[in-house]
Amino acid sequence: MSNPHKNEKNGDKNLPRWGMLIDLDRCVGCHTCEIACKFENDVPLGIWRSWVKEIEKGKQPNVVRSFRPTLCNHCDNPICVKVCPVHASWQREDGMVMIDPHLCVGCKYCMASCPYEVRYIHPQKGIIDKCDFCSTRVDAGLQPSCVEACPASARIFGNLNDPKSELAKLVATKPVSTLKPEMGTGPRVYYVSLDNATMEIKREAKLIWEK
Amino acid sequence: MGKVVFDVQYQTTLAFLISYYFYFTGLSAGSFMISTLSYGFGLEKFKPASKMGVVTAVLLLFLAPQFLLMQVCWPVKSLWHNFVHLNPISAISYGSFLLVLYPLNSIIYGIFMFKENKKWTKIFGLIGIPLALAVHGYTGWILAFGVARDYWNTGLMPIVFLFSAMVSGISMMILMIMIRDRFFTKEKVINHDLIDSLAKILGWLLLVDLFLVFCDYSVLLYSKLEAQEVAHFMLFGKMSFWFVIVENLIGKVIPMAIVMIPGMRKSYFWLILAALMNMAGILVMRVVTVYGGQALPLM
């Protein structure tokens, strides 16, 4: 019985807490973040680590398209980490929720438990995969690729623990919201001007035995 | 309200294989329970079912995890990672231990039973009952801990799973005892008293099972939006044929009516039909619960 990630925690109080803010007043729905993410992380065809849900609402002439960029929320209290039987889903001290490819056995329990449905099975590796806030880039001092690629600067990435960071200031001063706060997960991806219509719950689904 | 222009199709994670795993574990737990009625609790009437019950329980417990391993992407890795890197707050972690302890205990219990050693059979039978409850109850916990899904996330889930396990196990035992008595004994006479008692137990357990389903759905329909939507999906939506007609009408209500009416219960034709319908209904129940519970996209 062992948690292989136990030694990686040193209890340093000065560690950052990474988070992201997506300003939907700025988002133009160009899907560049999707493409940048695919390039950076070599995400196979048909699956996405980060995508932009796009809806159209209203009647002519009053119509609008609303967007909801979706990615892993790197929750403070991640359900996926709790349910993983082998500690393959784990959380770094700076808040990034990671997947250890050597430990994951592909049981898919975390996929079923994630309230945001951001996890997928990597078709070649047979393990679970998802957005990791571009941890290798962030560790090297760079921004996540979706943030860097966004032409409208709608995405702001930074350290929530540092009150002087742009992200912390915006989260403190703007009317932000998170996805499904009632799940008690404490998401660390914040949205400005999030449209509830992009989070509509559906009553019907295409069943797997339907063509 | 809005029309979706672009959204990523979400992959359904747990579908048929995991349902079969739950089904066969349930059958195993149910037949184990029957086998403990005489040796564990001293109900001599059920003694002719004991040996068959324990052998079936062990054999099914070898079959059931095969589906689990097929569903896991890395089956060999999972065999040892689940023990070495155990996460004590994950329901799957308990399962890997229960799936080892329960068959081992059942084998020891069976060996003592075949040696007619009543004392040790009773001890291992009584140890086996909490294990059998746990090995099937934990499958309910796996779903109940999937907190994102309102259909699963209820405290009733382990209990619903236990009752459906027991009803399907008893139905299977009724069929197997009939086949054994009719074709594989010298007398070729079916033990009517035993079958009749099992059928009576089946009727009452089915009643409790239906009551639990009613409790679950009444709360879902009264609850928050996501729960209402999934209840609507099950009762009136695309899943309604499988949930209402196959699972509950064919799988539970009609078999319950058959075994509750004494005239029909005494007829082997109706009893066999009831047992077959119930076994099929519980199999569909597993698929409806596992797959149906997560078929609706969450956002």
Q: What would the pLDDT profile of A118-175 be if each residue is shown by its tens digit?
A: 999 998 999 999 999 999 999 999 999 999 999 999 999 999 999 999 999 999 999 9
Chain A residue with minimum CA distance to B77: A105
| Nearest-by-Cβ selection for A2 from B84, B96, B149 | B84
pLDDT band with cut points at 50, 70 and 90 for residue A200: confident
Task: Note whether A109 contacts B149, CB cutoff 8 Å.
Answer: no
Mean of pLDDT over chain A: 91
Cross-chain residue pair B7–A112, CB shorter than 8 Å:
no
* pLDDT for A2: 65
Interface membership of B17 toward A (CB under 8 Å): no
Residue of A nearest to B78 (CA): A105
| B1 interfaces chain A, CB cutoff of 8 Å | yes
Question: Would you state the structure tokens that stand for residue B215, as one six-digit string?
Answer: 């409790």
CA distance B78 to A86: 8
Three-state DSSP at B91 gives helix
User: What percent of chain A is predicted at pLDDT more than 70?
Assistant: 95
Taking the CA of residue B85 and the nearest CA in chain A, the distance in Å comes to 5
Residue of B85, B97, B238, B290 to mutate, testing the A interface (most A Cβ within 10 Å of its Cβ): B85
> Which band of pLDDT confidence, cut at 50, 70 and 90, is reported for residue A87?
very high
Short-list A115, A162, A152, A126, CA closest to A19: A162
Question: Of the candidates A144, A146, A19, A154, which has an alpha carbon nearest to the alpha carbon of residue A73?
Answer: A19
Confirm if B56 and B195 have CB atoms less than 8 A apart: no
Q: Before A61, cis peptide (omega within 30)?
A: yes
The pLDDT of residue A209 is 81
- Whether the per-residue pLDDT at A1 is higher than 60: the answer is no
Domain B16-294, CATH: 1.20.1630.10
Which of these ranges, B36-40, B130-134, B209-213, has the smallest mean pLDDT? B36-40
Task: For residue A85, list chain B residues with Cβ-Cβ distance below 8 A.
Answer: 82, 86-87, 90-93, 96
| ipTM beyond cut 0.90 | no
* Chain B residues touching residue A204 (CB < 8 angstroms): 233, 237-238, 296
CA distance B4 to chain A (A): 4
Residue B5: per-residue pLDDT: 87
Domains of chain A, earliest start first: 16-196 (3.30.70.20)
Say what the pLDDT of residue B43 is.
Answer: 86
Interface of B with A in 192-231 (CB under 8 A): 225-226, 229
pLDDT at B164: 94
Inform me whether the pLDDT recorded for A8 exceeds 70. no
Handedness of CA B5, B6, B7, B12 (dihedral sign): positive
Closest Cα in chain B to A100: B85
> Taking residues B143-156, what's their average pLDDT?
92
pLDDT of A153 reads 94
Please answer yes or no on whether B297 and A199 come within 8 Å at the CB atom: no
Judge: B149–A112 Cβ closer than 8 Å, yes or no: yes
B147 to chain A, any CB pair closer than 8 A? The answer is yes
**Chain A residue nearest residue B68, CA to CA:** A107
Looking at beta carbons, which residues of chain A come within 8 Å of B233?
Answer: 203-205
Residues of B in contact with A103 (CB under 8 A): 81, 85
Q: Is the pLDDT of residue A12 over 90?
A: no
From A48, A109, A199, residue closest to B92, measured CB to CB:
A109
Interface test with B, best of A113, A128, A129 (most B CBs within 10 A): A113
User: What is the model's pLDDT at position A11?
Assistant: 62
- A66 with B2: Cβ contact below 8 A: yes
At B118-128, the pLDDT tens digits run 889 989 988 99
Contact B295 A205 (CB under 8 A): yes
Q: Over the stretch A182-198, which tens digit does the pLDDT of each residue have?
A: 999 999 999 999 999 89
Which pLDDT does position A10 carry in this prediction? 62
Confidence of residue B79 (pLDDT cuts 50, 70, 90): confident
A54 contact residues in B (CB cutoff 8 A):
4-7
> Interior CA angle at A9 toward A3 and A12, to 5°?
165
